[in-house]
């Protein structure tokens, strides 16, 4: 048996019948004898399913059912473009059954004025089942229900995968079918808990699915096919001149994903690392173009490989004269965060104060109340983290100086070097983040940048 290749296609690659046909061609042209295709929902479908759910939960039953009907019709239209007026029986039956089942959920939610998380996962995970069935039927290959393999806990909406169980289920349910058929098609984003209840891995989770299944199958490669030429030096929607990064180390890629590079779900790299499986990020619109290889030996060797940003976040600054020379102060602060169940993101300390960033939805009032019992507390909302990531960051003098020079009058409110020393994070006002990225990109990747060009940026 040769190791299979996992090919994951995102919603951007499968928005229309034409794009699906193109994906089918890419799969056929892959050349590997064994392929697992992991598919996202057709572009925009997951958002639309969430919108149906929100309408139902606010008792807008008619509007939610109309939207659902339109969505199902979109799948029938794509099917008709692929197969002609008569859809394959299995496809037609599944779309009909989905419409019925999801309508019932939406009606129930409209009556209740609420949509339980468990039902929400069933609803929003349907896009992947529909798109993958269309592709499997078009390719005439087996369609695998990922819920049979991708075992998770019952944390609906953000389920945590159970890798050991996924491995044994993949060996039992998936590998024999791939070995027999060559190509199989399954879904990203969805799984099921031990009771069989459908779960989802959180938004953008199809990348994570691909890598979990790739690890379980001991794949030769995990390919993430999207609509850009791999991981770029910055988000191209903010910095249009961003350019592809040819190679990245696992740490660099994980850091970029964690700091907001939407091209990869933050957990994508984890399953691949231990098994040393290369992850490539490729453009389905330009399959012969450039792409990124992420691997153990692939560290870029650059001081700054790429930039990313994440927000909004809030900054809590806790100040007390007692911190000066005192011990146990930080422990007391973190204990409050622990008790409130808030995960601490960036931390930066001075002699008498500590600044901590938290997600915007953290219980800021509760935290501030508890902390103000023993310290002065300042809360700043609407901030963003801008991160510079690079494998040689720690060994290169002057990166921080260059960053500050580039940002000029943009106020940096907090600065933090990641513990693994490959990221330098700056906190700025949220509205300043795009301009901060543009200025940093010009400084580190622009034609006049001395730092990266010395090392030959891609
Ligand atoms: P898919 O539907 O294939 O999962 P996503 O929309 O989730 O695609 O991710 C791809 C998008 O991520 C790109 O179109 C791009 O706009 C955005 N993006 C943000 N940061 C980066 C980056 N550093 N490199 C590449 N793309 C990025
Ligand atoms: N379709 C899901 C989403 O839109 C998962 C994914 O595309 O990765 O979030
Ligand atoms: Mg994505």
Any alpha helices (H) in 140-186, and if so which ranges?
163-169, 175-181
Q: What is the mean pLDDT of residues 148-165?
A: 98
Average the pLDDT over each of 135-149, 217-231, 313-327, 426-440 and give the range with the smallest value: 313-327
In sequence order, the 6+-apart residues with CB closer than 8 A to the CB of 30 are 5, 7
Model pLDDT, residue 298: 87
- Tell me, in angstroms, the distance from the centre of ligand 2 to residue 321's CA: 48
Query: How many of the other CB atoms lie within 10 Å of CB of 351?
Result: 8
Model pLDDT, residue 326: 64
- The proportion of the chain whose per-residue pLDDT surpasses 90, expressed as a percent, equals 84
Q: What is the mean pLDDT of residues 198-206?
A: 97
Query: How many of the other CB atoms lie within 10 Å of CB of 420?
Result: 13
- In terms of Cα–Cα distance, which of 445, 143, 120 is closest to 305? 445
Q: What is the mean pLDDT of residues 416-423?
A: 85
Residue 207, both tokens? 């990348």
Q: Is the dihedral of CA 420, 281, 174, 198 positive or negative?
A: positive
pLDDT range class, residue 323, cuts 50, 70, 90? low
DSSP secondary structure code for residue 344 in this structure: P
Indicate the top mutation candidate among 53, 203, 211 to test ligand 2's pocket, ranked by most ligand atoms within 8 A of CB.
Answer: 203
Q: What is the mean pLDDT of residues 412-436?
A: 92
- Kindly list the protein residues whose Cβ atom lies closer than 6 A to any atom of ligand 1: 10-13, 40, 204, 226-228, 231-232, 234-237, 261-263, 306
Model pLDDT, residue 27: 97
pLDDT beyond 60 at 228: yes
- In terms of Cα–Cα distance, which of 324, 328, 371 is closest to 350? 324
pLDDT range class, residue 359, cuts 50, 70, 90? very high
Q: Length of the chain in residues, anyone?
A: 458
pLDDT range class, residue 458, cuts 50, 70, 90? very low
């Amino acid at each position: 048996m040769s190791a299979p290749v996992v090919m994951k296609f995102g919603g951007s690659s499968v928005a229309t019948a034409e794009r699906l046909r193109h994906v089918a061609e890419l799969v056929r042209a892959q050349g590997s004898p064994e392929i697992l295709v992991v598919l996202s929902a057709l572009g925009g479908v997951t958002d639309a399913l969430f919108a149906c759910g929100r309408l139902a939960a606010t008792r807008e039953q008619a509007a939610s059912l109309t939207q659902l009907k339109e969505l199902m019709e979109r799948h029938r239209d794509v099917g008709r473009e692929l197969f002609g007026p008569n859809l394959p029986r299995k496809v037609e039956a599944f779309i009909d059954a989905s419409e019925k089942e999801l309508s019932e959920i939406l009606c129930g939610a409209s009556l209740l004025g609420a949509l339980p998380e468990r039902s929400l996962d069933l609803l929003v995970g349907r896009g992947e089942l529909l798109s993958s069935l269309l592709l499997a039927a078009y390719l005439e290959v087996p369609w695998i229900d990922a819920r049979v393999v991708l075992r998770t806990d019952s944390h609906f909406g953000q389920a945590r995968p159970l890798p050991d169980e996924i491995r044994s289920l993949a060996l039992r349910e998936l590998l024999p079918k791939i070995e027999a058929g060559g190509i199989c098609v399954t879904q990203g984003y969805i799984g099921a808990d031990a009771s069989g209840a459908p779960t989802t891995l959180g938004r953008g989770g199809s990348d994570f699915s691909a890598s979990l299944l790739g690890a379980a199958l001991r794949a030769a490669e995990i390919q993430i096919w999207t609509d850009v030429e791999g991981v770029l030096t910055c988000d191209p929607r903010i910095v249009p001149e961003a350019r592809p990064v040819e190679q990245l180390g696992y740490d660099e890629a994980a850091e970029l994903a964690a700091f907001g590079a939407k091209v990869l779900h933050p957990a994508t790299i984890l399953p691949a690392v231990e098994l040393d499986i290369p992850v490539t990020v490729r453009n389905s619109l330009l399959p012969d173009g450039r792409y990124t290889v992420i691997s153990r030996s692939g560290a870029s060797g650059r001081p700054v490989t790429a930039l990313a940003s994440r927000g909004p976040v809030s900054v809590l600054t806790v100040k007390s004269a007692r911190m000066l020379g005192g011990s146990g102060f930080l422990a007391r602060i973190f204990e409050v965060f622990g008790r409130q169940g808030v995960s601490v993101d960036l931390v930066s300390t001075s002699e008498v104060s500590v600044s901590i960033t938290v997600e915007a939805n953290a219980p800021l009032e509760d935290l501030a109340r508890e902390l103000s019992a023993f310290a002065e507390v300042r809360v700043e909302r609407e901030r963003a983290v801008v991160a510079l990531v690079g494998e040689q960051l720690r060994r290169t003098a002057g990166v921080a100086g260059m960053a500050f020079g580039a940002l000029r009058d943009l106020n940096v409110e907090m600065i933090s070097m990641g513990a693994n020393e490959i990221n330098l994070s700056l906190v700025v006002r949220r509205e300043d983040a795009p301009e901060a990225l543009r200025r940093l990109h010009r400084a580190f990747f622009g034609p006049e940048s001395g730092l990266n060009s010395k090392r030959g940026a891609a």
